[in-house]
Amino acid sequence: MKKLISLLTIASLMFSSFVVVGTNTARAAASDLAITAPANASTSPGLARDVSFSWTIGLQTGQTTIATSSIAQFKVKTNAGALIAGSVSACAASTTAIAGGGVTQAYGVGIATFTFATTTANTSGTACIKVPALAEGIYYITLYTGSPANDSAAVALYVGGFNQVTVTADVDPTFSFTLSSNSCDLGILQTSATSTCTYHATSTANTVQTGGIAVMVRADNAALRAGAETIDAIVGAPGSFAVATEANGVRLSANAGGNIGGGFNGTANQGQALPTSPTAIYTSSGANTTVSFTAMHIAIAGAATKVGHYTQQVTYSATLGF
Amino acid sequence: MPIRILKLFNLALAINLLFIGPVMAMSSQNYQISQDSINFGGSDDGNSANYQLDDTFGELGTGQTDSANFSLESGYRQNDNETPFFSFNVAAADKTTKIAYTNFGSSTVTLASAPNFAVDDYVAVTADEGASQKVAVGRVTAIAGNTLSVDFWSGDFATMPATPAGGNDFVYKLTGHAFDMGFLSQTQVSTAISFYHLTTSARNGYSVGAFANHVFRTNTGAVIANVADGAVNVGSGEYGIRTTGDDVMSSVADMPVQLTSAVIASSSVRSEVRRGAVIYKASSNNDILAGHYTQTVTYIATLNF
């Protein structure tokens, strides 16, 4: 049996040695056929389109003359390598041009063939083919340049969004209002000069609201109170503080993104009484995302001001205007 | 010739004919073998400085035969210049197929539960989803129980742990063309994944370029800025991509998606099967306006014959 197998092997190799036929193809390592990707390689599905190409047969490495081609044959194929089902046709305005002319055109299912006159030195050319309406997908078009150039190349054809990825993300709306302090101590009031304390208010949103941000304020009472005793709100909008004339009020200064309203924008030594119902004191317009202001509470005692611990509760709120 | 020897010769002839097989093309969903031949010798891509030799030995009756109306070119190499092949697939990870895994191997991944995948699906395996996320992509070739076998991994597979940890490692099916990152956070980097798979016979390689239709923005014009420092960080309010896979230009830095085509992977030599993954990253902070952000990225393959 061993001998039989050996004989079989030898016989097989002997037979094979008789039928060696070289079908080698040696090509230059450098690129010789260059095809330019068409400008309209990306298009919409369901529409026939003219696709224009240009190509050049270059000098192969190791050769001294550029080979010519006898034909330029285009095949439109699917991503799986099959010819498309529809027929390729001539462009409305043919731009096929080969140096020396002599071009005949033939069209078929998935194929367009341009045959050149044998007397023409065809080393480059341009052509336009009408690709039939295709379904969404990725296709490719091959170019084969006939003998003696005998080379091929391909370019991609994108129909619809199969070569695209759409990435999305969402950012939640946020809105905040903060006070730098929840207390403001005026200290021991004097009759000879005003006492002050300050804090900052900031409102931030990440929305592109068109109505801006409005900061509202209200006090539990316009006066500072210590039991039944009061230091009244200043009169005027704004009003000016006077020595030994008891009064209290608030003055604002803008830090970012808004406007002071309602007499709260007085100058030095001026103030505005706080309202007891919600009132806009700081507003912005448009797409401001941050507004900020500084509130200064101001008070002065009079000769008749009673001893006591005076307080006032002030409440702020902020709203977004869309 | 003795009868015994004649029988032997006939048997040898039969065996030999078996080895001199048909010349034909084959294809499947994911591969195309444009031409094949069973012989006893020859090879593709014999190279020297200036020439490249593709040879085949052992074929019968090759060559060109012409008649008035037809031309026959028979033989394996006769077809060399006529059938360049190309395929290009682009897809995004499908969030609905997200599934944890328990083991990542050199060509396998074992899922934590019964797989909802099929042979020939492309899958993406992630490790440590977030700012430092790693991704490997492959094509499923077999499924045994909860274990998927793939043809090979492309991407960050060499640095991905065999045993995932941290609860942020998943497998996705790559299909469709959209990925929603959901609501962005100020405490983590959100990610999305896409991939491309390219086959080509182009002798001098290929390149894959990418470009976006616009910056990552809302339809009211709010923008998450492109990453500029090489890393999309937590709380930075940035957006960018990282590429990984075969022949990618950079697999380390996060980079912006350009509005004109920029090459993300290329090779100057024959590269018949190539894959790459693209990881999209986004982070938010207080300066990022509320809204629905979107960007479409187009991938273009250029072949160099």
Q: pLDDT tens digit string along A18-30?
A: 222 222 233 433 3
Burial class (CB in 10 A: 0-12, 13-18, 19+), A304: exposed
- The answer to whether residues A223 and A235 touch, using CB atoms and an 8 Å cutoff, is no
> Kind and range of the H or E element at B161?
none
Distance CA A248, CA A253 (A): 17
Contact A206 B286 (CB under 8 A): yes
pLDDT 10s digits, A57-100: 877 666 677 777 788 899 999 999 999 999 999 887 766 665 55
Nearest to A172 among B25, B81, B183 (CB): B183
pLDDT of residue A9: 41
| Residue B58 pLDDT | 54
Q: Do B291 and A208 touch (CB under 8 A)?
A: yes
Question: Residue B191 — pLDDT band, cuts 50, 70, 90?
Answer: very high
Judge whether B187 is closer than 8 Å to chain A, CB to CB. Answer: no
CB within 8 Å: B88 and A79: yes
- Whether the CB-CB separation of A201 and A292 falls below 8 Å is answered with yes
Other CB atoms within 10 A of residue A49 CB: 17
Which of B56, B91, B183 has its CB closest to that of A170? B183
Torsion angle, CA of B209/B214/B216/B222, rounded to 10 degrees? Answer: 170
> What pLDDT shows up at residue A320?
85
As a whole number of angstroms, the distance between CA A154 and CA B305 comes to 8
Total CB pairs under 8 A between chain A and B:
250
> Of the given ranges (A141-150, A261-270, B203-212), which has the lowest mean pLDDT?
A141-150
d(CA A282, CA A213): 8
Band of residue A104 on the pLDDT scale cut at 50, 70, 90: confident
SS (H, E, C) B165-224: CCCCCEEEEECCCEEEEEECCCCCCEEEEEEEEEEECCCCCEEEEEEECCCCECCCCCEC
Q: Is A21 on the interface with B (CB under 8 A)?
A: yes
- In 3D space, the residue among B264, B262, B261 whose CA is nearest the CA of residue B279 turns out to be B264
Residues A244-260 have a mean pLDDT of: 92
Averaged over A236-264, what is the pLDDT?
A: 92
Distance CA A118, CA B81 (A): 20
The pLDDT score that the predictor gives to residue B37 is 53
Report the pLDDT averaged over residues B23-27: 42
- Sheet with B178-183, side-by-side order of all strands: B178-183, A164-171, B291-303, B206-212, B262-267
Query: Model confidence at A172, in pLDDT bands (50, 70, 90)?
Result: very high
Q: How long is chain B?
A: 305
Residues in chain A closer than 8 A to B50 (CB atoms): 28-30, 61-62
Contacts of A55 in chain B (CB under 8 A): none
Nearest to B246, CA basis, from B197, B181, B213, B289:
B197
* Residues on chain A touching B80 (C-beta within 8 angstroms): 25
pLDDT number for residue A98: 58
| pLDDT surpasses 90 at B144 | yes
pLDDT digits (tens, 9 = 90+) for A282-296: 998 876 678 899 999
- B182 contacts chain A (CB < 8 A): yes
Please say if the pLDDT value at position A17 is more than 50. Answer: no
Give residue B39's pLDDT.
53
Q: Does B104 reach chain A within 8 Å, measured CB to CB?
A: no
Interface of B with A in 148-167 (CB under 8 A): none
Chain A CB contacts of B93 below 8 Å: none
**Are residues B254 and B280 in contact, defined by beta-carbon separation less than 8 angstroms?**
no
Looking at residues A217-237, what average pLDDT do you find? Answer: 96
Taking the C-alpha atoms of residue B37 and residue B23, their distance in angstroms, rounded to an integer, is 5
**Res. A12: pLDDT tops 70:** no
Q: Assign residue B78 a region: left if phi > 0, alpha if psi is -120 to 50, beta otherwise?
A: alpha
pLDDT band at B20 (very low <50, low <70, confident <90, very high): very low
Across the interface, whether the CB atoms of A169 and B304 are under 8 A apart is answered: no
**Is the pLDDT reported for residue A166 higher than 70?**
yes
The chain-wide mean pLDDT, for chain B, equals 82
Taking 3-state DSSP, the helix, strand and coil percentages for chain A, each rounded to the nearest 5, stand at: 5, 45, 50
Q: Does A17 touch chain B (CB under 8 A)?
A: no
SS3 A2: helix
Whole-number percent of chain A with pLDDT over 70: 84
Residues in CB range of A73: below 8 A, 6 or more apart: A111, A112, A113, A114, A143, A144, A146
**Which of A7, A15, A81 shows the shortest C-beta gap to B27?**
A81
CB B125 within 8 A of CB B160: yes
Note whether A74 contacts B: Cβ–Cβ < 8 A.
no
Answer yes or no: is the ipTM higher than 0.85.
Answer: no
* C-alpha–C-alpha distance, residues B120 and B175, integer Å: 12
Q: What is the per-residue pLDDT across B162-176, written as a single tens digit (0 to 9) for each? A: 999 999 999 999 999
A-chain residues within 8 Å CB-CB of B34?
81
- B257 pLDDT exceeds 70? yes
HSE-CB at B214 with a 13 A cutoff on CA atoms is 12
Average pLDDT over residues B249-260: 93
What dihedral do alpha carbons B108, B109, B114, B116 form, nearest 10°? -80
Are the C-beta atoms of A185 and A217 separated by less than 8 Å? Answer: no
A132 exposure class (CB count in 10 Å sphere: 0-12, 13-18, 19+): middle
E strand or H helix at B67: none
Give me the pLDDT at residue B171, please. 98
> Phi/psi at B287 (nearest 5 deg)?
-85, -10
Average pLDDT over residues A39-46: 80
Higher pLDDT: B233 or A101? It is: B233
Indicate yes or no: CB of B220 within 8 angstroms of CB of A12: no
What's the rounded mean pLDDT across residues B60-67?
50
CA distance A251 to chain B (A): 29
Looking at the predicted structure, is the pLDDT value of residue B49 above 90? no
The one-letter code for the residue type at A31 is S
Per the listing, tokens 């005027």 go with A236
Residue whose entry in the numeric block shows the structure tokens 């891509």: B45
User: Does the structure show a pLDDT above 60 at A247?
Assistant: yes
- The candidate with the shortest Cα–Cα distance to A179, out of A196, A167, A197, is A197
The predicted structure's pLDDT at residue A96: 61
Q: Which residues of A touch B202 (CB under 8 A)?
A: 153-154
User: B80 — contact with chain A (CB < 8 Å)?
Assistant: yes
> Where does residue B111 fall: left (phi above 0), alpha (psi -120 to 50 degrees), or beta otherwise?
beta
| Cβ contact B78–A23 (<8 Å) | yes
Each residue of A299-314: pLDDT tens digit? Answer: 999 999 999 999 999 9
| The pair of three-digit structure tokens given for residue B162, joined into one six-digit string | 């065999």
SS3 label, residue B259 = coil
Confidence at residue A94, expressed as pLDDT on a 0 to 100 scale: 62
Name which residue leads in pLDDT, B305 or A247.
A247
Average pLDDT, chain A: 83
Cα–Cα distance, A310 to A230 (Å, whole number): 8
Instruction: Report residue A25 as tokens.
Output: 């193809």
In degrees and rounded to multiples of 5, residue B71 shows phi and psi of -135, 125
| For residue B264, pLDDT beyond 90 | yes
How far from B45 is each of A28, A62, A151, A202, B54, CA to CA, in Å? Answer: 11, 17, 16, 70, 5
Comparing A11 with B269, the larger pLDDT belongs to: B269
Given a contact cutoff of 8 angstroms between Cβ atoms, the answer to whether A222 and A235 are in contact is no
Q: Is A322 near chain B, with CB under 8 Å? A: no
